């Protein structure tokens, strides 16, 4: 193992694919399975491949995604709203899926960013172990800081399988979080306009 820096610039031990696969074989044995039977021989390798996709956000920097902006927008200074961005994340407490949608809005300060980049930032933070509250704040703060926006709003509506498949098992329960910065927080009329947009 070698030391690498994580997303918070803290050194952690880098675990090899081989070591991770062995850990999953141990888990298969722990749940009562035989990791040497035919159907499970390649499972640790497949799980590693899947985990690399589930948690690829640890290897990506949202500020890099937001570096390129455009100023040729003829003075556009109203909110830009992107609705219904799909979210697939995992909760940090049980590593169970979080499935939902995000709505994102910002008020540009002379420059705008490509529309796909908003969804990309949501994707980067979603592909990490999360709480929904932190995820909402991280998306908003990244947009506010990188775009020097006049205001940012983020809403997430999702289902947590840690409470639908286990524990209290409330299959229909969803969770909604909102976070506002700048003009969205300071001006309720702007906040209300945003809420009307995303409710349509």
Q: Tell me, yes or no, if 60 is annotated catalytic.
A: no
Q: Tell me, yes or no, if 93 is annotated catalytic.
A: yes
HEC assignment per residue over 50-97: HHHHHCHHHHCCHHHHCCCEECCCCCCCCCEEEEEEEEEEEECCCCCE
Q: Do the Cβ atoms of 130 and 90 come closer than 8 Å?
A: yes
Q: Which of 175, 178, 176 is nearest to 194 (CA)?
A: 178
Of the residues 21, 90, 160, 183, which is catalytic? 160
DSSP string, 93-157: TT--EEEEEEEEEEE-SS-EE-HHHHHHHHHHHHSSEE-HHHHHHHHHHHHHHHHT-SEEEEEEE
Q: Tell me, yes or no, if 123 is annotated catalytic.
A: no
Q: Tell me, yes or no, if 103 is annotated catalytic.
A: no
Of the residues 162, 172, 183, 191, which is catalytic? 162
Q: Tell me, yes or no, if 90 is annotated catalytic.
A: no
Q: Tell me, yes or no, if 91 is annotated catalytic.
A: yes
Of the residues 11, 42, 67, 93, which is catalytic? 93
Of the residues 90, 91, 138, 161, which is catalytic? 91
Coil, strand or helix at 169: coil
Of the residues 132, 138, 161, 191, which is catalytic? 132
Q: Do the Cβ atoms of 59 and 7 come closer than 8 Å?
A: no
Of the residues 60, 82, 92, 141, which is catalytic? 92
Q: Tell me, yes or no, if 92 is annotated catalytic.
A: yes
Q: Which residues are catalytic?
A: 91-94, 132, 160, 162
């Amino acid at each position: 193992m070698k030391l690498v820096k994580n997303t918070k610039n803290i050194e952690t031990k880098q675990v090899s694919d081989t070591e991770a696969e062995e850990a999953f074989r141990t888990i298969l044995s722990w749940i009562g399975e035989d990791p040497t039977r035919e159907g499970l021989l390649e499972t640790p390798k497949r799980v590693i491949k899947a985990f690399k996709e589930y948690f690829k956000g640890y290897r990506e920097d949202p500020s890099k995604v937001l570096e390129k902006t455009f100023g040729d927008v003829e003075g556009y200074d109203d909110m830009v709203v992107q609705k219904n961005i799909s979210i697939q994340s995992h909760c940090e407490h049980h590593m169970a899926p979080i499935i939902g949608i995000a709505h994102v809005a910002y008020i540009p300060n002379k420059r705008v960013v490509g529309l796909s980049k908003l969804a990309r930032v949501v994707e980067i933070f979603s592909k990490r172990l999360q709480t929904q509250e932190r995820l909402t704040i991280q998306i908003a703060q990244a947009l506010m800081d990188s775009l020097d926006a006049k205001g940012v709003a983020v809403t997430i509506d999702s289902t947590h399988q840690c409470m639908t498949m286990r524990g209290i098992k409330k299959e229909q329960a969803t969770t909604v979080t909102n976070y506002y910065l700048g003009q969205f927080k300071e001006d309720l009329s702007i906040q209300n306009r945003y809420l009307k947009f995303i409710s349509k």
